[in-house]
Amino acid sequence: MGTIAATMKSAEQWAGVVADLAVKRKAAEARGAELRKRKADLSLEAALGSAQARKELEKLNAELTKLTFDCDDLGVAVQQAESEKVKAAKESAVEAERQRRAEMSRFAKIAVKHAADFTRALQQAAKAASAVKASLGEMQGLATADENRALNPLLRPQVFMRGAEHVGLRSCLEFQPYPGPPAQIVALETELGSALEHWLEGGR
């Protein structure tokens, strides 16, 4: 491949080359048709001995010969350019697929990293929930019967589920939405803080 052709990288560039060469070839063919018509008009005069007709006919034949070669060359060039266009399109498709796969791989790695973060966060949440229950259990051991009746509901799974729903976990975990008023879907610390307000203020 020559220096100019080597600079052509994209199928779009080669498509432009094909179109340009096709226009040139069509123009050469049209010129050839004009010359052949003129040659037909002059052939009889030349055969009858007209020196002027013979002279012009010689020029026409020379130009027609050159045009024939030019048309052949342009035809070959069009075929080669078409071939390069197809090749460039395939190379572009291969590169696009390579980039697509690279992006898929990159996002897969990011997803797995976030999944590990998710697992660690859930593990931490589970530990925190156990610590909450343990602290409430300590309170139950110290509470009166009436106080225990207020503490018992705080240990129910629904309390923790509302806390999970509040932070958006229902979008990625399968559990039933809270059927009560949306205003009751609050952070776990908010619900406990409200229920334990008396004790948070020192039990006064």
pLDDT in tens, the chain (204 residues): 555 555 666 788 888 888 888 888 888 888 888 888 888 888 878 778 788 888 888 888 888 888 888 888 888 888 888 888 888 888 888 988 999 999 999 999 999 899 999 999 999 999 999 999 999 999 999 999 999 999 999 999 999 999 999 999 888 888 888 888 989 888 888 988 888 888 888 766
Side chain identity, residue 104: M
Q: Which residues contact 85 (CB under 8 A, 6 or more apart)?
A: 11, 14, 15, 17, 18
Number of residues that this document lists for the chain: 204
Of 157, 189, 152, nearest to 176 by C-alpha is 157
Instruction: Enumerate the domain spans of the chain.
Output: 3-110, 113-200
Helix axes 157-166 and 188-195, enclosed angle (nearest 10): 130
Work out the burial of residue 59: count CB atoms within 10 Å of its CB; fewer than 13 is exposed, 13-18 middle, 19 or more buried.
Answer: exposed
Model pTM score: 0.60
Query: CB–CB of 133/155 below 8 Å?
Result: yes
